Amino acid sequence: MSVRLGLNDFIACCGSTKFAEQMVADGPFATYDEAVVAARNIWFNKVDVHGWLEAFAAHPQIGQNPSSVAHKSSTSAQLHLQFSFFLSLWSKGEQSAALATATDSTLQELYEWNSQYKQKFGFVFLICASGRSTPEILTELKRRFSNRPIVELEIASQEQIKITELRLHKLFTNTSIQDQKS
């Protein structure tokens, strides 16, 4: 039995059009493991730097919406809501550690460092937040900020594939449940 996944399913896992098209071309995949092998090969060998940047740009950033968070006076509720959105794109249930440890001051600091990060590197800070607390995410952001752009590009690509794998896993799990029900 193969899991039937379409272009939009793969786009939801990784926002590179080339990635999603190639996953459709290489599929269908009988198991999650088969899909991951294909995904890693496509992401690292076939998607070029423009495709990587396209995938990175598909991620929301804390403070991304200028109408709601344009400056330091953002309300606590706005920051928490945006942080929840930032995390919610990742696999359900993986965001509890970060949400439980998010305070106004750490979120405000995260927002400010995110802006500096994007200004230096040209894309949003990407991290697979699974199991990480908000202070841990902030520490990692500060540490990575001193990297050279080419180094950070490669780290971001590694984080992106981890996120993609979590999302693929969720897709395969959901599809399996639906298959069992039908």
In the complex, minimum distance from the CB of residue 13 to its own copies, in angstroms, rounded to a whole number: 19
- Dist. CA 13–CA 2, nearest whole Å: 18
Which token pair is 22? Answer: 């190639």
Query: Which of 150, 180, 181, 182 touches its own copies by CB under 8 A?
Result: 150
In the complex, minimum distance from the CB of residue 61 to its own copies, in angstroms, rounded to a whole number: 16
Q: Give me the amino acid identity at 156.
A: A
CA 31 centroid distance within chain: 22
Closer Cβ to its own copies, 77 or 150, answer by number: 150
* Contact map string, positions 15 to 54, toward its own copies, x by CB under 8 A: -----------------------------xx-xxxxxxx-
With CA atoms as reference, report the closest residue to 64 among 117, 2, 135: 117
In the complex, minimum distance from the CB of residue 52 to its own copies, in angstroms, rounded to a whole number: 8
Instruction: Judge contact between 79 and 62, C-beta under 8 A.
Output: yes
80 catalytically annotated = no
Query: Which of 75, 96, 120, 139 touches its own copies by CB under 8 A?
Result: 120
Q: Is 11 in the site for its own copies (CB under 8 A)?
A: no
Query: Which of 17, 101, 157, 176 touches its own copies by CB under 8 A?
Result: 157
With CA atoms as reference, report the closest residue to 171 among 94, 91, 93: 91
The number of C-alpha atoms within 13 Å of 43 and in the hemisphere containing its C-beta is: 27
